[in-house]
Amino acid sequence: MIYDPHLGLIFIKTLKVSGSSFEAAIAPLLSELAVVTINESWTSDGKSVDSIALRRTSWLPLRRLIPQILRHRTEARHIPSDILRSRGPRHEAFSIEKDHMSADDIRSQIGHAEWNRCTKVEIARNPYERIVSYYFMKRRQSSNPSTFLPFGEWLALNPEAIVKNERLVSVTQPDGTTRPDIDMVLYYEDMDQSLQTFATRFGLDAELLISRYRSTTIHSEYRPRDNSGRAESIIDARSKQLIDLLIARRFDRLGYRHEVENVIPISRTKPNTENTQSSRIAN
């Protein structure tokens, strides 16, 4: 999540769309007033890279901070150095702003007038690709990846993974319904052009932003490099039907087609498990 009142920018960070790479790329170009919730560290080519210098957040009020300190004693050891660096806490547990903060929560924090003044930005990615990427991340992070559920079974038990991104960018209306409130969409499949347009809109150095983004690869080790990691190799017909049903409006809103090449039969739901890295399907 990014909020820069000087630029009038709100970036709503959704899942598995290279949001962390975007944060790391743009953070040095933002104003000193900006809030940037980039994680304390991220992984690039299998190595942990310290990004604490890029993180700028607000401390929780004392009455909420103290219980969190007692609850997260290990993380609390950094508090003295965080106070000295004057950029807020490095750990999400102690900050007001969260990494994947919803549009509703951001609007509640900054107020409706400021929300309406700012330009709201999200990164979009082919929904099939994003969900497959999310699955491989969850599998790799599990206690036993070798016994993790096949994609079709996992998706049927975790349908919230399908709708999560659309919910993150939606705000509650006076009548209680929710709808996305986004002014600008950056496309994962065409980030150079998207970043060029973005930089022009906010008066930033497009060449520098694109260069920084290209050189920043975060969390790239989860997904197989070979065909076993391709969406068309892992999404069965029933899973595709579920995805299409739950986020039909997201496909339409963002301009993606309801197509996965060579969708495999329903009976073949167990994916092959080899290697790592992500791949993409163009819009």
Q: Residue 215: give its domain's CATH number.
A: 3.40.50
Q: What is the pLDDT of residues 40-89, one digit of tens each?
A: 666 655 555 667 788 999 999 999 999 999 999 999 999 999 999 899 99
Q: What is the pTM of this model?
A: 0.87
- 259 within some domain: no
Residue type, 212: R
Q: 39: Cβ–Cβ under 8 A, 6 or more apart, which residues?
A: 20, 51, 55, 92, 99
- 183 within some domain: yes
- 89 within some domain: no
Q: Which residues of the chain have pLDDT under 50?
A: 267-283
- 241 within some domain: yes
- 80 within some domain: no
Look at residues 7, 23, 56, 21 and name the one whose alpha carbon lies nearest to residue 204: 7
- 92 within some domain: no
Look at residues 150, 188, 182 and name the one whose alpha carbon lies nearest to residue 166: 182
Task: Please tell me the predicted confidence (pLDDT) of residue 273.
Answer: 32
Our count of domains for the chain comes to 1
- 81 within some domain: no
Cα(183)–Cα(59) distance, integer angstroms? 29
Provide the pairing of β-strand 9-11 with 35-36: unpaired
Distances (CA, A) of 226 to 178, 183, 189, 221, 279: 39, 36, 19, 13, 9
Domain that holds residue 175: 2-57+97-254
- 12 within some domain: yes
How many Cβ atoms sit within 10 Å of the Cβ of residue 257?
9
